[in-house]
């Protein structure tokens, strides 16, 4: 199934917006994560944990799902296909992997935000919560890798893609 050019452009635009939005939300999250790691001020740490929970719940997770869904729509509705090129499969697998890790991390961030929101939590207890900086930076690296695949589209067709290409050539030859 191939989409009309107008629908394809709409789907591609939605995919780019959600993917770049996901990347930007992760960058904002990392800034707060760095504040948690470097701050000595309990109020700053408390606010950062709470804001991290808001960003992950209301921006990062929805944008991750939007990116995944729009990516599937774009791949299924265009000649690139979902299983024809290794770079598309790689993007899909990395996006699914990143989303699963994200959903797991979301629970930890929510737990840390709940503790930080308690006004009786001491500065030492806030520092003991730690951070998710390693996961955040790892997630950013995965998202950048996905973007690189999107731009450079490394060569290499799957066996399925090769077979489909050969079938199309046979049909188009007189």
CA atoms of 154 and 93, how far apart (whole Å): 15
pLDDT at 168: 81
Segments of the chain assigned E as strands: none
End-to-end CA distance of the chain: 23
pLDDT at 135: 95
- Over residues 80-124, the pLDDT tens digits come to 889 999 999 999 999 999 999 999 999 999 999 999 999 999 999
Residue 174 pLDDT more than 70? Answer: no
From the number of C-beta atoms within 10 Å of its C-beta (0-12, 13-18, 19+), residue 3 rates as middle
Record the pTM: 0.91
Residue 167 pLDDT more than 90? Answer: no
pLDDT at 166: 86
In this prediction, what percent of the chain has a pLDDT beyond 90? 83
How many structural domains comprise the chain? 1
- Of 35-44, 105-114, 135-144, 159-168, the one with minimum mean pLDDT is 159-168
Q: pLDDT class for 1, splitting at 50, 70, 90?
A: low
Domain span holding position 112: 5-172
CA atoms of 84 and 16, how far apart (whole Å): 21
- Give the residue-averaged pLDDT of 26-52: 97
Query: Per-residue DSSP letters for 50-68?
Result: HHHHHHIIIIIHHHHHHHH
Residue 156 pLDDT more than 70? Answer: yes
pLDDT at 165: 83
- Give the residue-averaged pLDDT of 150-155: 90
- Give the residue-averaged pLDDT of 63-76: 96
Residue 2 pLDDT more than 90? Answer: no
pLDDT at 145: 97
What's CA 113's distance to the chain center, in Å? 22
Distant-in-sequence, close-in-space partners of 135: CB < 8 Å, separation ≥ 6: 101, 105
């Amino acid at each position: 199934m191939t989409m009309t050019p107008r629908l394809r452009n709409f789907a591609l635009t939605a995919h780019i917006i959600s993917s770049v939005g996901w990347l930007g939300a992760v960058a904002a999250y990392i800034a707060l994560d760095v504040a948690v790691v470097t701050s000595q001020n309990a109020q700053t740490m408390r606010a950062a944990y709470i804001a991290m929970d808001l960003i992950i719940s209301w921006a990062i997770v929805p944008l991750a799902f939007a990116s995944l869904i729009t990516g599937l729509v774009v791949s299924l509705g265009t000649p690139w296909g979902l299983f024809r090129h290794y770079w598309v499969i790689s993007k899909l697998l990395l996006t699914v992997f990143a989303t699963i890790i994200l959903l797991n991390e979301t629970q930890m961030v929510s737990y840390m935000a709940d503790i930080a929101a308690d006004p009786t939590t001491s500065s030492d207890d806030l520092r003991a919560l730690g951070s998710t900086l390693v996961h955040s930076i790892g997630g950013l690296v995965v998202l950048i890798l996905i973007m690189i695949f999107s731009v450079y589209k490394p060569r290499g067709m799957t066996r399925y893609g090769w077979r489909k290409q050969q079938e199309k050539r046979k049909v188009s030859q007189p």
